[in-house]
Each structure stands twice: as C-alpha cells, then as structure tokens.
Amino acid sequence: MRSFRSGWIAAACGGLALVVGGCGSDDAETGPGVSDDPCPDAVNEDNGCIYLGVLSDLTEGPFAALAVPITDGQVAFWQRVNEEGGIGGYDVDITEYTRDTRYDPQEHSAAYREIEPEILALAQTLGTETTEAILGDMDSDDVVGAPASWWSGWNFEDNDDGLILEAGYSYCLESQIGLDWFSENVAPPETVLAVGYPGDYGGDSAAGVEAWTEAAGAQFAGFVETAPNAQVGSQDAAVGQVLQSGADVVVLAVGPAETAEIVGGSAANGFTGQFLGSVPTWNPALLDTPAAPALQALYTNVAPWEDLDADTEAHAAIRESLGDELPANQGYIYGWIWSYPVKAALEAAAENDDLTREGVRAVVDGLEVDFEGALPATTLGGDPNENVNRTAVINKPDPEAPLGLSSVATGVTGTNADSYDYASACSG
C-alpha cells in the first residue's frame, strides 16, 4: 500500500511510472484518472487519488431538484469509502470533475470531452438521452459510469455497450411490480392508464403498463404524453384525459409538481381511481401543497429501495452521513445507492492490479455488487432475464416520515413482473 512507501521507492516509482503508466498501489497498473498524488482535501494523505467525473443537472435543468441531492449523496458515499481507507491505496474524488450539464445532451457531451482525459470513470451521468449522447465516446475511451436514471436499456449490452453500471429495477419493471402489488393487495385493476413524459422515463414506464395489462387481461387505456409544467404550463390536459379514461389505476411517470397537479386536479373533479407513481414523482414538499389530502388518499409511490428510516447497513450509513440534517428529498439516497456498482468495479479492478479504464471495464460483466442490504446482491451483465432486479418497495405519503413516505411493503415481487420476458429494452 502507498502508506508503506518511502521516499526512495517513490522516486524509483516516478521513473518507472513513465514506462508502465503509473504506480499507485503496490504494483497496480494505472492510467488516466489515477494519480499517485493525494486527492484535493484528501482524507488519507498517504493515498493516491482516483478521479471520477460527475455529469449532472445542478442549476437550471428540469431535474436539478433531484440531481443536487443525488450528487450530495454520492459525495457522502465516497467520503465514507475514503474514511474507510479508500480503494487499493487510493482515495476517490468526485468533486474535482463535477460539471453541470443542465440535462442538455450537447452540454453533456462537451463536458464529457472536457473532463474525459482526467477521469477513470463516471460516478454519475444523469439522464438517458444525455448519457446516450456520450455512450459512443465512453465506448472508445473505455469509460464506465453509474447512471442517474432507470431506463430499461441500461440492462442490455445492445444499448449501453456494457458501460452503464445500473442499480435497481427499470421504470418498465417498476410499473409492472407496482401493478402486481396493487392487484394482489388492493383490487385487480380492470383499466389502467399511463401518464408520463415521452421517451426513456414515461415511455419506459408506459411500456411496462401495457405489458402488464396484456399479461393480466386488463384493459390498457393508453399513454397520455405530457411534459413538465415549464413547457406546457399546466397539467390540465392530462387531468382531462385521466377523467375521460375511466381508468381505475393511473400510473404516473412525471415530475413531483406535475404529480400533485394531476392527482389533486383529478380528485377535485371527482376522480376516484388510484395513482401509482414512479420513483421521481415524489418530493416531500408535496405534503405542503393543496394536493396533499388527495395524495394521501389516492397516491402510492413505487421505489427500488426503502426510504431513509430503513433498517439496513446502507441506510444506517446514509443516516450517519447526514447527522441531524435531512436531505431535501430522496435524491440523496438514490445517489448513495447508485454508487455501489462503481465501488465494486473499482475494488475488483484494484484486486486485479489493473486500475486502468480497460481494467475497470473488464470487470463489469459478471460483477457481483453488494448493496449493504439496500438491494439484493446483484450481478451486472449476463442475461438480464436472470440477473435484473425485480423487487420494489411500496410507499404511501406520510407526514410523520422523515421524507414524507413510509413503506407499506418491502421486497415486493409480482407474478407478471417476474414472468415478464426481459429480452430487450422496453422503450427507446
């Protein structure tokens, strides 16, 4: 380990590094994004530094409200890794190469090109379209990354070239598991409507709804395509179509404010069906809106993992990192849990004494990821039908819960979701 190195070893190493590309931990081969110098503000001054990039939506983009806590959660995750000694003699830094790309594929691509020479991998690449914009470059650069989205395509090598290290289910499976749970625990839906943003998020969720209705013999009332309020002004059109649909369950894949408007507006107009909301539909601040009573009565949230107060090792660590502070929303938890696959990849590469990009990429297929109880242990790559995570957590709004949601069922699986033939991406 680096802590055993003395000056003469470092000097010798310095010369040798020119030949073999670096000399971080013991004999590990290194390349771009790995330095023998300590990280800025290093936890372990004797360690070298692995630089990971973050391409996120941190100020003006549509997902900034979620992306900022996601990034905070990742910073806290890697801080904990560093406090536990780092990886293979290296601390991990994700702040030096954090860039705000405002959910714009062009800015995402430009920022990637800017930071690419300096990073080993991406700790976060937020969004599907934005990530697709850099996948070609990531492939030629051998840069792997953790997504901040749950598009089903990340489960398939045809879509992500094995570069995206996903965690949890996909939106497509999420809606199916949610409907399975609803069917078994509330009432079998006869007519189901999907409302969401077109594309990787709402489109993926709606594809899952359609598949579920086919499998369950229910009627698919269609996919109502809407857009964020910043684009369409209000959700009046979506509310109108919910009211006309006659659906007894509406599956939502929109933003939090739009969720409150659709649920509140539908309830105010006499709609008595139920709403199942995808993960990003929730924000604790919704409990302060006029729609709060309607949300408490009609809305159920589906999530890949439990909320802040869960009894797992991962959640205990998350709470410890927060101290007495509460994050603005669940994004902090997402960011934390999305980081486990990258950590596992770096550890496996360090184990192989190959902390190059090629070395990290080589360990991804078949990589076992331990989520410290937040999710079942998962194997990346391989056959998605076998390896994909098909469990969810069902939450209801709860003003007493730290982030406004409390779990009513955990580790939820469903008959139709389990038997769904996951042979290709559901959308896109």
CB 289 within 8 A of CB 264: yes
Taking alpha carbons only, the member of 254, 305, 242, 309 closest to residue 278 is 254
If one asks whether residue 159 binds another protein (CB under 8 A), the answer comes out as no
Three-state DSSP class for residue 182: helix
Of the two residues 255 and 341, which places its CB atom closer to another protein in the complex?
255
β-strand 34-35 against 90-100: which pairing, if any?
unpaired
Three-state DSSP class for residue 93: strand
Choice from 157, 225, 353, 372 touching another protein (CB under 8 A) = 225
The pair phi, psi for residue 379, each rounded to 5°, is -105, 125
Give the Å distances, CA to CA, from 79 to 172, 318, 336, 399.
33, 11, 11, 31
In the block, residue with structure tokens 């039908």: 385
CB 98 within 8 A of CB 54: yes
Tell me the closest approach of the beta carbon of residue 375 to another protein, in angstroms.
24
Of the two residues 68 and 251, which places its CB atom closer to another protein in the complex?
68
Choice from 28, 68, 135, 412 touching another protein (CB under 8 A) = 68
Of the two residues 178 and 331, which places its CB atom closer to another protein in the complex?
331
If one asks whether residue 244 binds another protein (CB under 8 A), the answer comes out as yes
Give the Å distances, CA to CA, from 128 to 147, 148, 256, 427.
8, 8, 19, 11
Tell me the closest approach of the beta carbon of residue 254 to another protein, in angstroms.
10
Three-state DSSP class for residue 161: coil
Of the two residues 191 and 229, which places its CB atom closer to another protein in the complex?
229
Q: Which stretch binds another protein (CB under 8 A): 105-113, 124-132, 261-269, 412-420?
A: 261-269
Choice from 131, 283, 356, 416 touching another protein (CB under 8 A) = 283
In the block, residue with structure tokens 């070609």: 136
CB 102 within 8 A of CB 364: no
Taking alpha carbons only, the member of 164, 165, 167, 163 closest to residue 358 is 163
If one asks whether residue 304 binds another protein (CB under 8 A), the answer comes out as no
* Binding pattern for the stretch 191-210 against another protein, x by CB under 8 A and - elsewhere: -------x------------
Tell me the closest approach of the beta carbon of residue 101 to another protein, in angstroms.
15
If one asks whether residue 246 binds another protein (CB under 8 A), the answer comes out as no
If one asks whether residue 168 binds another protein (CB under 8 A), the answer comes out as no
If one asks whether residue 289 binds another protein (CB under 8 A), the answer comes out as yes
Which structure tokens are listed for 379? 């194997």
Of the two residues 244 and 385, which places its CB atom closer to another protein in the complex?
244
Choice from 85, 105, 240, 384 touching another protein (CB under 8 A) = 240
DSSP 333: H
Tell me the closest approach of the beta carbon of residue 158 to another protein, in angstroms.
28
Residue numbers of the site for another protein (CB under 8 A)? 59-60, 62, 64-66, 68-69, 198, 224-237, 240-241, 244, 255-261, 264-265, 267-269, 283, 285-286, 288-291, 294, 328-329, 331
